[in-house]
Amino acid sequence: MITVSTDGSCLRNPGGPSGWAWVNHHGPTASGGIAAGTNQVAELTAVLRAIEAHPGDEPLVIESDSQYAIKCASEWVVGWKRKGWRTASGSPVQNLALVQGIERAITARSGPVRFVWVRGHVGNYYNEQADLLAGAAARDVSREAAMPAMAAAELAGPTSDTLF
């Protein structure tokens, strides 16, 4: 059995730089950034990337502190698909591309996928590692976005209020 912890981070929710991460309890890790997202987008991206990174027939357990991501991937998706990707109230499913991507990744995987909720920020080692990686990825994206603006200001030279 493969056990992977996932997490997402958003520096300014909604619309801020975001990061996602997964940590295999006996192997590698991965993380990445999103220029502008939400907590939910980051959490769902982490789940999707974890499933894609662990193909095969060995059972996969995904631990997450996001009940939203777990329910999207394991409970709500069944009804949403049956209703033409609409919620119980008839409105469109939020984050549809990610939810559909997770559903396809689970279907394409020969082994079963199971989800386990873990309480976040209480010292669970793998959850904490995923949280650190997701936060670092979000900060990296934020710094990268700031770099072109700083470079443009430096190229422009001093402003009139700095001249004598």
Q: Based on the residue annotation, tell me whether 121 is a catalytic residue of this protein.
A: yes
Enumerate the β-bridge partners of residue 29: 23
**CA separation for the pair 21, 36 (Å, rounded):** 16
The residue annotated as part of the active site, out of 57, 84, 121, 154, is 121
The residue annotated as part of the active site, out of 33, 43, 101, 135, is 43
**What is the spatial order of strands in the sheet that 16-24 belongs to?**
29-37, 16-24, 2-10, 60-64, 113-117
Q: Based on the residue annotation, tell me whether 57 is a catalytic residue of this protein.
A: no
Q: Based on the residue annotation, tell me whether 8 is a catalytic residue of this protein.
A: yes
The residue annotated as part of the active site, out of 8, 19, 32, 33, is 8
**CA separation for the pair 66, 72 (Å, rounded):** 10
The residue annotated as part of the active site, out of 63, 65, 101, 135, is 65
Whether the Cβ atoms of residue 50 and residue 3 lie closer than 8 Å to each other: no
The residue annotated as part of the active site, out of 32, 63, 131, 135, is 131
- The residues annotated with a catalytic role in the active site are 7-8, 43, 65, 121, 131
